[in-house]
């Protein structure tokens, strides 16, 4: 492309978290020239913050465990909105993907006989999460990073992708990027592009996500004409820090509950026993005595603190609303009174450190104050389960940016296994697609110039909108109007505000020059966040029932007749986002038999 | 009303507010200077919160690197009142705010802009390290390792690559010329993790001595002091590595074997390292039997 730096590869991977690196490793191993482009430095992606573990039915701790049980837990946790084939492939392939990480140098905690240790987590019938204390994501990301470096995969760091590029037939064949350091543009030409950009949390006020989670991949796919599904299904993790205010939203691993921690209200009551839904009644303990015996004997039923995340987050929300919350508007998470200080420090070292250093709380002697935090986007790019191909030729997606795997609610530990299983599959899918092309597609040069001009436009708006102020207002609006509990009037109000924000976003002004200018970067990220916020709001309006991470106060029940059978699809029509319904793929009988009754 | 169901609008920040002044270095490769910014700091906040408030209210183009804001990614390294630290884990309440707090970029790396530095040196070193290569799996498809054997390398896997240890290491902090022949503490930690990995089969000792310059470290423990993950870099990684390297290079039996078999002599890279300025203090050869534990 005239005047711009450019690079040509077979496969371009956007995002260097677990899914992106796993995809790149696979593509390179198959002989494709492969490059990874990421917004931050290599090794800083959000995967690094995953704590509790990676779910895989290895059967090391409970030999009764197998892929069928994992499949069942995942589908029921997702309230059956999942793409069944993705859930099946995920459950079947996760153990191999975890063992493979050991071949690449990962060091998981061990069982007494020297195999990979597994821990309990919400919604999983057996202790299933391979882990390294409470820093599993760091171990996985570093392992994949080292493997990618050893494979000589080119990594373009601190580069923001502005637009996907297509050839005249509409097939995606590259991307326009911006070097954050120099402020110069760069064009990537590729036969296939894999999106692995992670989540969307930065559009909400209280989030466990890092600054990068601005929904770039969701927005890029939407603008390129791809379908997004299940965008109404946003996971609010039940346990985020709430005090001090500066730390609000930081993740407190579900491992605290898996390892024996319990939730209590202001009065010291284990309130979760009052919130056991009918759907999980058969498998949930209804007395403290039974719950406490479950940790050592899985013939007892699971404690209600280990219900899936959507159930626990709603219960905490209700408890606070009823006036039984803690001083800063959350509830208590107590492991201090249930496990020894030595055990807590060994199993949860980074939680110990996080509370000690940021909140002056010693979790071996004191309860933590916690509340829900925006954590994970179940929805995303609609993909083919086998190849991760999107509805646009040449474009693939893996990890959090892809939709379907987790349905309406993700189980803890299933994201780290998702990114391994489907990162690998996306790598294979992209290489096979690239090899099937009869010619090398060329991006449209006019699109490059238009994208670059759009990005530079912010420097022309003297005295324009402050991007930090607009971002703050967007976060306030999404938190209060499209949060855990939703209603039709609030969602309608959110759409009005998003219209206003869209207008103001075009008027954002940036001062200074192009080199490492964070105000400019935020102005560009705001475009993605606004697109994702709109997709979520539209889908949330359309789903007039409550299911998983999507709870409507005006439609509090699940609707088995209609909404159980459809996914919400958001796509652009004449430049505007529109929502429509698509039937959920029907489950084959032999898999349906594994599930028990639906919601 | 639950916290998530209030109408949008200004939210009263929780906690007591007070006024603080940060003196932040601003500039680029051509030079720069400290600028004072006075803003509100709220009870419980960390330095990165205040830097973000300065961005939002006073200096929108103030360049700073950050990601997780939870001490897990190692992006927001800087020098706060002269000490290399993570901005996200340095609480304002631990600093003396009666004087302006200085925040400057890591000195061991070239400045890109303001608090952002060019840390590409570290990624270049990473590429020099031969990767992990395991022995075969057991017949049942598992690798068997005891927790006891895994513990040692797991300590090193805690590294978040903040590069504060590289920043404070005096072999490279003010000696750009040593960088080509020296890996630095972060990569000695990585090498120790590989060397002590129960499954690894690669021998990197010669490389560590000749090309990665372990001999240049004279164990002042500055790296250990700044590690936000409290990794015992000097005692548990560097000193055992020095011992292994020394055992391999100076074992009299091995020496005799090399004489008889006429193995090649030191490489040019090692000779260059030996004549570099920082090497004038001499290679530090540690012959302690076991690493001491740090307090």
Residues B119-154: pLDDT tens digits?
A: 999 999 999 999 999 999 999 999 999 999 999 999
Question: In chain B, where are the structural domains located?
Answer: 17-117, 120-281
pLDDT at B280 over 60: no
Contacts of B2 in chain A (CB under 8 A): 317, 320-321, 484-485
Parallel, antiparallel or unpaired: strands B17-28 and B101-104 = parallel
Residues B6-59: pLDDT tens digits?
A: 333 333 445 789 999 999 999 999 999 999 999 999 999 999 999 999 999 999
Identify which of B55, B112, B143 has the shortest CB distance to residue A516: B112
Residues A385-396: pLDDT tens digits?
A: 999 999 999 999
DSSP A315: H
Q: Candidates 1.10.1060.10, 3.40.50.300, 1.20.210.10, 3.40.50.720; correct CATH number of B120-281? A: 1.10.1060.10
Closest chain B C-alpha to A359 CA, distance in angstroms: 7
Q: HSE (CB half, 13 Å, CA atoms) of A278? A: 5
Q: Which fold has domain A5-235+375-445?
A: FAD/NAD(P)-binding domain (3.50.50)
Q: Which residue of B has its CA nearest to A327?
A: B14
CB-based contact (8 Å) between B2 and chain A?
A: yes
Indicate the CATH number for domain A238-374: 3.90.700.10
> Best interface-test mutation with A: which of B67, B115, B123, B192 has the largest number of A CBs within 10 A?
B67
Backbone torsion region of residue B45, taken as left when φ is above 0, otherwise alpha when ψ lies between -120 and 50, otherwise beta: beta
pLDDT of residue A567: 98
* Cis preceding linkage at A354, omega within 30: no
Instruction: Please state, in angstroms and rounded to a whole number, the distance separating the CA atoms of residues B101 and B54.
Output: 13
pLDDT of residue B220: 96
- Do the chains contact at A515 and B143, CB–CB below 8 Å? no
- Do the chains contact at B142 and A515, CB–CB below 8 Å? no
CB-based contact (8 Å) between B235 and chain A?
A: no
pLDDT of residue B253: 73
Residue with tokens 């007070």: B18
Contacts of B132 in chain A (CB under 8 A): 104-105, 146
Q: Which fold has domain A459-583?
A: Methane Monooxygenase Hydroxylase; Chain G, domain 1 (1.20.58)
Q: Where are the beta strands (DSSP E) in A292-355?
A: 331-334
The three-class DSSP label of residue A531 is helix
SS3 content of chain A, % helix, strand, coil (to 5): 40, 20, 40
- Do the chains contact at A103 and B123, CB–CB below 8 Å? no
- Do the chains contact at A110 and B147, CB–CB below 8 Å? yes
C-alpha torsion A193→A198→A204→A210, nearest 10: -120
Q: Which residue of A has its CA nearest to B120?
A: A41
Contacts of B127 in chain A (CB under 8 A): 149
Mean pLDDT for all residues in chain A: 96
Contacts of A516 in chain B (CB under 8 A): 63, 112-114, 116
pTM of the model: 0.93
Q: Which of A202-216, A547-561, B250-264 has the lowest mean pLDDT?
A: B250-264
Residue with tokens 């006989």: A113
- Do the chains contact at B44 and A510, CB–CB below 8 Å? no
Identify which of A139, A149, A210 has the shortest CB distance to residue B157: A139
Identify which of A49, A329, A512 has the shortest CB distance to residue B61: A512
> Best interface-test mutation with A: which of B60, B105, B113 has the largest number of A CBs within 10 A?
B60
Q: Are A505 and A230 in contact (CB under 8 A)?
A: no
DSSP B137: P
Any residues with CB less than 8 A from the CB of A164 and at least 6 apart, and which?
A: A172, A174, A175, A193, A220, A221, A223, A224, A395
- Do the chains contact at B126 and A329, CB–CB below 8 Å? no
Instruction: Please state, in angstroms and rounded to a whole number, the distance separating the CA atoms of residues A333 and A359.
Output: 14
> Best interface-test mutation with A: which of B1, B7, B8, B65 has the largest number of A CBs within 10 A?
B8
Q: At what angle do helices A467-481 and A488-505 cross, to 10 degrees?
A: 170
Q: Are A374 and A206 in contact (CB under 8 A)?
A: yes
Count Cβ atoms within 10 A of the Cβ of residue A581 and give its class: 0-12 exposed, 13-18 middle, 19 or more buried.
middle
Q: Please report the DSSP string for A78-145 in residue order.
A: TTT-S-HHHHHHHHHHHHHHHHHHHHTT----B-TTSSB-EE--TT-SS--EE-STT-HHHHHHHHHH
Q: Are A349 and A253 in contact (CB under 8 A)?
A: no
Q: Where are the beta strands (DSSP E) in B177-239?
A: none
Residues of A classed as catalytic: 237, 257
Question: In chain A, where are the structural domains located?
Answer: 5-235+375-445, 238-374, 459-583
pLDDT of residue B261: 64
Parallel, antiparallel or unpaired: strands A380-381 and A228-229 = antiparallel
Contacts of B15 in chain A (CB under 8 A): 244-245
Q: Which fold has domain B17-117?
A: Ubiquitin-like (UB roll) (3.10.20)
pLDDT of residue B3: 39
Residues B197-236: pLDDT tens digits?
A: 999 999 999 999 999 999 999 999 999 999 999 999 999 9
User: CA A535, A555, A205, B60 torsion: positive or negative?
Assistant: positive
Q: Residue A596 — pLDDT band, cuts 50, 70, 90?
A: confident
Reduced 3-state DSSP string for A195-262: ECCCCCHHHCCCECCCCCCCCHHHHHHHHCCCCEECCCCEEEEEEEECCCHHHCCCECCCHHHHCCCE
- Do the chains contact at A46 and B67, CB–CB below 8 Å? yes
Residues B53-85: pLDDT tens digits?
A: 999 999 999 999 999 999 999 999 999 999 999
- Do the chains contact at A210 and B69, CB–CB below 8 Å? yes
Assess whether the region A5-235+375-445 and the region A459-583 belong to the same CATH fold.
no
CB neighbours of residue B11 within 10 Å: 14
Identify which of A99, A116, A518 has the shortest CB distance to residue B55: A518
A-B interface: how many C-beta pairs under 8 angstroms? 201
Instruction: Please state, in angstroms and rounded to a whole number, the distance separating the CA atoms of residues B282 and B275.
Output: 10
- Do the chains contact at B72 and A135, CB–CB below 8 Å? yes
CB-based contact (8 Å) between B68 and chain A?
A: yes
Beta pairing partners, A119: A129
First-to-last C-alpha distance (Å) of chain A? 53
Any residues with CB less than 8 A from the CB of A370 and at least 6 apart, and which?
A: A238, A239, A240, A241, A242, A252, A316, A330, A331, A332, A333
B 247-276: CB under 8 A from A = none
Closest chain A C-alpha to B56 CA, distance in angstroms: 5
- Do the chains contact at A485 and B2, CB–CB below 8 Å? yes
Q: Please report, for residues A101, A114, A297, the alpha-carbon distance to residue A62 in angstroms, rounded to integers and kept in the order given.
A: 21, 15, 10
Compute the radius of gyration of chain A from its Cα atoms.
23
Tokens coding A19: 């899914």
Q: Residue B291 — pLDDT band, cuts 50, 70, 90?
A: very low
Identify which of A48, A472, A477 has the shortest CB distance to residue B68: A48
């Amino acid at each position: 492309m005239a005047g711009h730096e450019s690079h040509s590869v077979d496969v371009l991977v956007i995002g260097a978290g677990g899914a992106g690196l796993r995809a790149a490793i696979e593509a390179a191993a198959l002989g494709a020239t492969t490059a990874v482009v990421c917004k931050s430095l290599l090794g800083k992606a959000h995967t690094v913050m995953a704590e509790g573990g990676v779910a895989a039915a290895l059967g090391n701790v409970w030999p009764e465990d197998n892929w069928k049980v994992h499949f069942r837990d995942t589908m029921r946790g997702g309230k059956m909105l999942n793409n069944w084939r993705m859930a099946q492939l995920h459950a079947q392939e996760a153990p191999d993907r975890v063992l493979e990480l050991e071949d690449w140098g990962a060091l998981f905690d061990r069982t007494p006989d020297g195999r990979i240790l597994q821990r309990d987590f919400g919604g999983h019938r057996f202790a299933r999460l391979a882990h390294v204390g409470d820093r599993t994501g760091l171990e996985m990301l570093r392992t994949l990073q080292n493997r990618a470096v050893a494979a000589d995969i080119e990594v373009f760091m601190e580069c923001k992708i502005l637009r996907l590029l297509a050839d005249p037939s509409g097939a995606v064949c590259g991307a326009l990027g911006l070097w954050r350091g120099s402020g110069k543009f760069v064009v990537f030409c590729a036969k296939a592009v894999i999106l692995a950009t992670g989540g969307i949390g930065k559009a909400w006020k209280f989030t466990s996500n890092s600054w990068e989670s601005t929904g770039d991949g969701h927005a890029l796919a939407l603008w390129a004409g791809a379908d997004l599904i299940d965008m109404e299904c946003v996971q609010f993790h039940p346990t985020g820090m709430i005090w001090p205010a500066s730390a609000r939203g930081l993740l407190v691993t579900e491992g605290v509950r898996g390892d024996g921690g319990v939730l209590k209200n202001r009065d010291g009551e284990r309130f979760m026993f009052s919130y056991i839904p009918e759907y999980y009644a058969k498998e949930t303990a209804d007395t403290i005595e039974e719950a406490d015996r479950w940790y050592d004997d899985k013939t007892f039923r699971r404690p209600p603190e280990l219900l899936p995340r959507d159930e626990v987050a709603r219960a905490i929300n209700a408890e606070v609303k009823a006036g039984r919350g803690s001083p800063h508007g959350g509830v208590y998470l107590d492991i201090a009174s249930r496990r020894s200080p030595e055990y807590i420090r060994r199993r949860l070292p980074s939680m110990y450190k996080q509370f000690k250093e940021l909140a002056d709380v010693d979790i071996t002697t004191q309860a933590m104050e916690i509340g829900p935090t925006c954590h994970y986007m179940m929805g995303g790019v609609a993909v083919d389960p086998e190849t991760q191909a999107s509805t646009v030729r040449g474009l693939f997606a893996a990890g959090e940016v892809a939709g379907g795997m987790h349905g309406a609610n993700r189980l803890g530990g299933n994201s780290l296994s998702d990114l391994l299983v489907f990162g690998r599959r996306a790598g294979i899918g992209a290489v096979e697609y690239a090899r099937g092309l009869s010619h090398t597609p060329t991006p449209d040069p006019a699109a490059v110039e238009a994208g670059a001009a759009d990005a530079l436009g912010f420097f022309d708006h003297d005295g324009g909108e402050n991007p930090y102020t607009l971002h703050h207002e967007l976060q306030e609006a999404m938190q209060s109007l499209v949060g855990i509990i939703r209603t039709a009037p609030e969602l309608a109000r959110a759409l009005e505000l998003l219209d206003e924000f869209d207008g103001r976003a075009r008027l954002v002004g940036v001062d200074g020059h192009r080199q490492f200018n964070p105000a400019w970067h935020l102005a560009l990220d705001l475009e993605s966040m606004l697109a994702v916020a709109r997709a979520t709001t539209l889908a949330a309006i359309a789903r007039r029932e409550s299911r998983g991470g999507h709870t409507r106060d005006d439609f509090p029940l699940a609707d088995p007749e209609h909404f159980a059978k459809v996914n919400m699809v958001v796509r652009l029509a004449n430049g505007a986002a529109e929502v429509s319904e698509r039937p959920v793929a029907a489950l084959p009988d032999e898999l349906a038999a594994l599930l028990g009754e639906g919601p | 009303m639950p916290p998530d169901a209030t109408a949008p609008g200004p939210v009263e920040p929780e906690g007591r507010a007070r006024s603080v002044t940060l003196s932040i270095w601003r500039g680029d490769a051509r030079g720069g200077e400290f600028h004072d910014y006075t803003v509100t700091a709220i009870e419980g906040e960390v330095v990165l919160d205040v830097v973000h408030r300065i961005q939002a209210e006073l200096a929108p183009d103030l360049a700073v690197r950050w990601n997780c804001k939870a001490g897990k990614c190692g992006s927001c390294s800087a020098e706060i009142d002269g000490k290399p630290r993570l901005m996200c884990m340095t609480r304002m309440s631990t600093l003396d705010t009666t004087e302006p707090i200085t925040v400057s970029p890591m000195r061991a790396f070239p400045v890109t802009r303001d608090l952002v530095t060019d840390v590409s040196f570290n990624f270049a070193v990473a590429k020099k390290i031969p990767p992990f290569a395991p022995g075969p799996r057991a017949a049942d498809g598992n690798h068997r390792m005891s927790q006891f054997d895994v513990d040692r390398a797991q300590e090193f896997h805690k590294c978040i690559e903040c590069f504060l240890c590289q920043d404070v290491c005096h072999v490279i902090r003010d000696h750009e010329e040593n960088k080509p022949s020296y890996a630095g503490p972060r990569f000695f930690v990585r090498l120790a993790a590989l060397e002590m990995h129960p499954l690894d089969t690669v021998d990197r000792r010669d490389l560590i001595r000749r090309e990665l310059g372990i001999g240049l470290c004279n164990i002042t423990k500055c790296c250990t002091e700044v590690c936000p993950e409290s990794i015992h870099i000097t005692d548990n990684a560097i000193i055992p590595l020095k011992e292994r390297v020394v055992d391999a290079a100076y074992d009299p039996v091995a020496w005799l074997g090399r004489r008889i078999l006429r193995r090649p002599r030191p490489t040019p890279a090692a000779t260059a390292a030996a004549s570099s300025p920082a090497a004038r203090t001499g290679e530090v050869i540690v012959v302690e039997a076991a690493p001491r534990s740090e307090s």
